[in-house]
C-alpha cells in the first residue's frame, strides 16, 4: 500500500454502539469519563494503524428516543463532548434531529451549530422510522442552508426509507444545498446507480462507508463525476469494531488515481465542504 504525502481525513465515524448491539455493550452513552476516554483512545489507535490523521464523528444509530427532543439534545451533547476529548484529531462533529420532533428540531439544529459548534447535521432515517424525503426534511435543509452547512444523509442499500431516489427528490427541491450521500456504494446495485445520480445532481457528494468491492468502481465513478465529488469514509464504530481494516482506503491507495485526485478524495473535499483549514 502506498504511503501518501498528505494527511488523510475520514469523514464518516460514529460515536455510540452499532444498532442491535446496545444491550450487550452497556448502553448507548458513555457517561463514565474513563470509559469515554478509553473509547477515544481505541478510535485513535485504529486511525493511527491505517494512517488516518483526522476524522469527523457523528451519532451512532439506535440511540434512545424515549424522551423525544430532550433525548436528542443529550445525544448531540454527548457527541460534542466526545469530540472535545481529542479536537486535534477529531476535528469536526455532526449533530442529528428527528423529523417527527417538528419545530423543536429546528431549534436544535440552531443550537448544534451556534452553541455546540458542530460542522454539519446527519440523518440515518431507517433508524428514525421515517422516510428520507419526509416533508420536515425540507425545513431542515432550508435551516442548514441558512447556516451554510451540509446535510449528511445515509443511503444504505437495505433500506427503502433511505433509497437513493428519495435523496434525489430532496436534492431536486433544494438545488443550492449541499448533500453528502453516506454509504452510497453499499451494494453492487447502488454502486451502479451512483455515477448516474451524480451526473444529474451536482449538489450531491458521495462517501465510501461500507463500500462493496466492484471492479473499477472508483475509476468509473470519477470518470463521470470527478474526484471532487467523492469522500473517504470508513463507517467506523468502536463498540463493537465492525471490520479489521478500512477497505476503501486500501483501494484508493492502490489505485491508478493521480496524487491530486487522491489528495482531494482522502482529505481535501471533506475539509472544503466542512469549512476546515488545510493541515
In the chain (279 residues long), the average pLDDT of successive 10-residue segments reads: 82 84 57 89 96 96 85 95 97 97 97 98 94 98 98 96 97 98 94 95 96 78 95 90 87 91 97 91
Q: Residue 109 falls within a domain, yes or no?
A: yes
**CATH number for the domain harbouring residue 201:** 3.20.20.140
Residue 22 has a pLDDT of 46
At 2 the pLDDT is 60
Q: Is residue 277 one of the residues assigned to a domain?
A: no
Query: What pLDDT, on a 0 to 100 scale, did the predictor assign at position 267?
Result: 97
Residue 24 pLDDT: 43
Q: Judge whether 59 lies within some domain.
A: yes
pLDDT at residue 25, rounded to an integer: 46
Whether 139 is in a domain gets the answer yes
Give the per-residue pLDDT at 214: 63
* Number of domains composing the chain: 1
pTM: 0.95
Within a domain: 52: yes
What is the pLDDT, as a whole number, of residue 1? 52
259 part of a folded domain: yes
Q: Tell me the three-class secondary structure of 198-266, residue by residue.
A: HHHCCCEEEECCCCCCCCCHHHHHHHHHCHHHEECCCCECECCECCCCCHHHHHHHCCCCCHHHHHHHH
Tell me whether residue 120 is in a domain: yes
Per-residue CA distances from 130 to 27, 134, 136, 163 (Å): 23, 7, 10, 12
Structural domain span for residue 224: 8-269
Residue 1 lies in a domain: no
Amino acid at each position: 500500500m502506498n504511503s501518501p504525502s498528505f494527511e488523510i481525513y475520514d469523514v464518516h465515524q460514529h460515536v455510540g454502539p452499532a444498532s442491535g448491539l446496545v444491550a450487550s455493550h452497556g448502553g448507548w452513552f458513555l457517561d463514565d469519563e474513563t470509559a469515554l476516554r478509553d473509547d477515544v483512545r481505541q478510535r485513535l489507535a485504529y486511525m493511527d494503524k491505517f494512517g488516518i490523521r483526522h476524522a469527523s464523528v457523528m451519532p451512532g444509530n439506535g440511540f434512545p428516543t424515549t424522551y423525544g427532543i430532550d433525548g436528542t439534545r443529550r445525544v448531540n451533547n454527548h457527541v460534542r463532548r466526545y469530540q472535545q476529548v481529542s479536537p486535534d484529531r477529531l476535528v469536526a462533529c455532526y449533530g442529528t434531529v428527528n423529523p417527527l420532533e417538528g419545530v423543536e428540531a429546528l431549534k436544535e439544529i440552531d443550537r448544534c451549530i451556534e452553541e455546540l459548534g458542530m460542522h454539519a447535521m446527519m440523518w440515518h432515517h431507517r433508524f428514525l422510522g421515517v422516510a428520507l424525503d419526509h416533508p420536515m426534511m425540507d425545513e431542515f435543509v432550508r435551516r442548514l442552508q441558512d447556516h451554510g452547512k451540509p446535510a449528511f444523509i445515509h443511503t444504505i442499500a437495505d433500506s427503502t426509507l433511505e433509497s437513493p431516489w428519495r435523496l434525489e427528490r430532496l436534492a431536486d427541491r433544494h438545488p443550492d444545498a449541499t448533500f453528502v450521500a453516506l454509504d452510497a456504494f453499499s451494494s453492487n446495485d447502488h454502486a451502479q446507480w451512483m455515477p448516474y445520480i451524480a451526473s444529474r445532481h451536482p449538489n450531491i457528494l458521495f462517501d465510501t462507508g461500507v463500500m462493496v468491492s466492484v471492479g473499477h468502481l472508483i475509476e468509473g465513478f470519477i470518470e463521470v463525476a470527478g474526484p471532487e465529488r467523492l469522500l473517504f469514509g470508513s463507517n467506523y464504530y468502536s463498540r463493537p469494531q465492525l471490520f479489521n481494516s478500512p477497505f476503501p482506503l486500501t483501494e484508493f491507495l492502490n489505485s491508478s488515481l493521480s496524487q491530486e485526485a487522491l489528495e482531494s478524495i482522502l482529505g481535501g473535499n471533506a475539509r472544503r465542504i466542512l469549512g476546515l483549514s488545510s493541515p
